[in-house]
């Protein structure tokens, strides 16, 4: 069984939904994970922000502005009166539900229920389309099997057990449609896997059913060697190892949710990145094997905060690093990069919700400095220990950019460099010129 995930652009209009139906209507058992139509989740965020600020009129206005797009999709998607009617009833039901929040007290818990509407709508629309086309398929409600635990992490054993139960209800069906992104928390409330989370759903579903392959269909022909939003002339990479892809996703390659490689990797399920607009393109295959020993790609992670702790107590002392790390552990704040000297330690974090408490505690160790708006440039490839010259090529390319931290040697496939956020675009372009043009030629 395969898992195919289609992102927001891939289901962004009636025309795109019809293309998706064409791509999934073929023999072979599969689960199809769909995102919300592009722009919808952003819009739902705006609606719930307005409700949280008790700007009821604005919330009503925003809801009413979203509705016509869905009415238009219904008009263009279905060809029979029966399904145009069914589609319109579906839209009325969901938009009435959204409007119901403008009449009551709105609590932050309800925000997640609003954010779930995008995927609930897109999957129901596509399922109706398949029904109208007489394609045999079943809509599996993700809220019946996708679940996170108390730590906010996916609960794979629960997902496995409940997804199996759902599938067992339809032994003769080959095509299943389900919602990406949405799930329930341990209290049974609607929750989600964070923005871009449909990729994560696909990988979790793939792991849960031991899929033969997970395909992530999007609006670009695979993982590119550099961020195409900032750099011209990027190209797709044919093959990546799980470790390489996971690093790129975690360090900012938007094509994949930061955590989405891990479940597939755990069960050795290949992940293929494909382009809905160009289905014949080869895309990127992510699997156990790594091809070629060279610099393969770069990605950038923004909004990084760097913390420097200077302390004479660190000199020739042991146990100091542990005490520092314990502070971050207490506040469940992951550390990305770290460099140390005899008397100082610099580290970076992405999550700053608990920053005030963390700084307060770190001050017990010495002087603490903090700088926001930093960017980690992550350079990924197969840097085997016996190879040499990579660092020279990277730093030669970046010679005009002030570098704040370097992490080299932590793994054989990642070199990370911390720079100021304002230098990001320049750094990505410089690496393209200095590293990849030479690789290609």
The residue ranges that bind ligand ASP (CB under 6 A) are 7-8, 35-36, 41, 118, 180-181, 195-198
Q: Indicate the residue among 257 and 404 with the shorter CB distance to ligand ASP.
A: 257
CA distance to 149, 190, 415, per residue, from 336 (Å): 23, 30, 12
Could you give the angle at the alpha carbon of 378 between the alpha carbons of 155 and 404, nearest 5°? Answer: 120
Q: Report the partner that residue 71 touches, choosing among Mg ion, ligand ADP, ligand ASP, none (CB closer than 5 to 8 A by kind).
A: none
Contact 380, 247 (CB under 8 A): yes
Q: Which of residues 359-388 bind Mg ion (CB under 5 A)?
A: none
Q: Indicate the residue among 250 and 328 with the shorter CB distance to ligand ASP.
A: 250
Contact 392, 438 (CB under 8 A): no
Q: Report the partner that residue 227 touches, choosing among Mg ion, ligand ADP, ligand ASP, none (CB closer than 5 to 8 A by kind).
A: ligand ADP
Write the Ramachandran bin of 409: left for phi over 0, alpha for psi from -120 to 50, otherwise beta. left
Contact 253, 315 (CB under 8 A): no
Q: Report the partner that residue 118 touches, choosing among ligand ADP, ligand ASP, Mg ion, none (CB closer than 5 to 8 A by kind).
A: ligand ASP
CA–CA gap between residue 409 and residue 411 (Å, rounded): 5
Cα–chain-centroid distance for residue 204?
13
**At its nearest, how many Å lie between ligand ADP and the CB of residue 301?**
11
Q: Indicate the residue among 59 and 142 with the shorter CB distance to ligand ADP.
A: 142
Q: Does 416 bind ligand ADP (CB under 6 A)?
A: no
**At its nearest, how many Å lie between ligand ADP and the CB of residue 364?**
40
Q: Does 196 bind Mg ion (CB under 5 A)?
A: yes
CA–CA gap between residue 418 and residue 402 (Å, rounded): 9
Residue 380 has, within 13 A of its CA and on its CB side, a CA count of: 29
Tell me the number of residues near ligand ADP by CB under 6 A: 18
Q: Which stretch binds Mg ion (CB under 5 A): 1-9, 48-56, 274-282, 380-388?
A: 1-9
**At its nearest, how many Å lie between Mg ion and the CB of residue 285?**
19
Q: Does 9 bind ligand ADP (CB under 6 A)?
A: yes
User: Token digits for 30?
Assistant: 């599969």
Q: Does 218 bind ligand ADP (CB under 6 A)?
A: yes
**At its nearest, how many Å lie between ligand ADP and the CB of residue 232?**
12
Pairing between β-strand 295-310 and β-strand 367-381 as defined by DSSP bridges = antiparallel
Q: Indicate the residue among 215 and 287 with the shorter CB distance to ligand ADP.
A: 215
Which listed residue (44, 142, 255, 380) binds ligand ADP by CB under 6 A? 255
Residue 184: its H or E element: strand 182-184
Which listed residue (50, 66, 220, 304) binds ligand ADP by CB under 6 A? 220
The burial of 286, by beta-carbon neighbours within 10 Å (0-12 exposed, 13-18 middle, 19 or more buried), is given as buried
- Where do runs of H (alpha helix) occur along 101-226? 111-115, 117-132, 156-168, 198-208
Residues that bind ligand ADP (CB under 6 A): 7-10, 35, 196, 218-220, 223-224, 227-229, 253-255, 299
Residues forming contacts to Mg ion in the complex (CB under 5 A) are: 7, 196
């Amino acid at each position: 069984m395969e898992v195919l995930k289609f992102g927001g652009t891939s289901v962004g209009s009636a025309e795109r939904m019809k293309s998706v139906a064409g791509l999934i209507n073929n023999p072979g058992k599969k689960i199809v994970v769909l995102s919300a139509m592009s722009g919808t989740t952003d819009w739902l965020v705006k609606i719930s922000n307005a409700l949280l600020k008790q700007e009821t009129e604005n919330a009503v206005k925003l809801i009413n502005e979203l509705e016509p797009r869905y009415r238009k999709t219904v008009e263009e998607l279905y060809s029979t009166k029966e399904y145009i009617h069914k589609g319109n009833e579906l839209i009325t039901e969901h938009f009435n539900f959204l409007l119901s929040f403008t009449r009551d007290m709105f609590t932050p818990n309800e925000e997640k229920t609003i954010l779930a509407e995008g995927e609930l709508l897109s999957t129901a629309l596509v399922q109706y389309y398949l029904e109208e086309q007489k394609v045999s398929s079943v809509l599996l409600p993700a809220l019946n099997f996708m679940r996170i635990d108390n730590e906010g992490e996916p609960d794979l054993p629960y997902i496995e057990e409940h997804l199996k139960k759902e599938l067992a209800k339809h032994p003769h069906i080959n095509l299943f449609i389900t919602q990406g992104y949405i799930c329930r928390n341990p209290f049974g409330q609607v929750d989600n896997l964070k923005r871009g989370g449909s990729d994560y759903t696909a990988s979790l579903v793939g792991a849960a059913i031991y899929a033969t392959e997970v395909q992530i269909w999007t609006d670009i022909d695979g993982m590119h060697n550099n961020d195409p939003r900032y750099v011209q002339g990027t190209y797709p990479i044919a093959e990546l190892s799980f470790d390489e892809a996971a690093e790129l996703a975690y360090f900012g390659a938007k094509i994949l949710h930061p955590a989405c490689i891990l479940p597939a990797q755990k069960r050795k399920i290949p992940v293929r990145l494909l382009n809905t607009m160009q289905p014949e393109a080869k895309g990127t295959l992510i699997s156990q094997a790594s091809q070629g020993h060279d610099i393969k790609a770069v990605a950038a992670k923004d909004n990084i905060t760097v913390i420097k702790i200077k302390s004479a107590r660190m000199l020739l002392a042991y146990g100091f690093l542990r005490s520092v790390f314990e502070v971050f552990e207490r506040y469940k704040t992951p550390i990305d990069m770290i460099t140390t000297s005899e008397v100082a330690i610099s580290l970076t974090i992405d999550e700053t919700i608990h920053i005030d408490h963390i700084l307060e505690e770190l001050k017990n160790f010495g002087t603490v400095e903090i700088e926001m708006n930093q960017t980690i440039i992550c350079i990924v490839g197969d840097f085997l220990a016996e190879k040499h010259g990579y660092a020279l090529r990277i730093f030669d390319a970046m010679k005009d950019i002030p570098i704040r931290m370097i992490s080299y040697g932590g793994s054989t496939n990642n070199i990370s460099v911390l720079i100021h956020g304002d230098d990001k675009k320049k750094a990505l372009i410089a690496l393209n010129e200095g590293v990849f043009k030479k690789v290609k030629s």
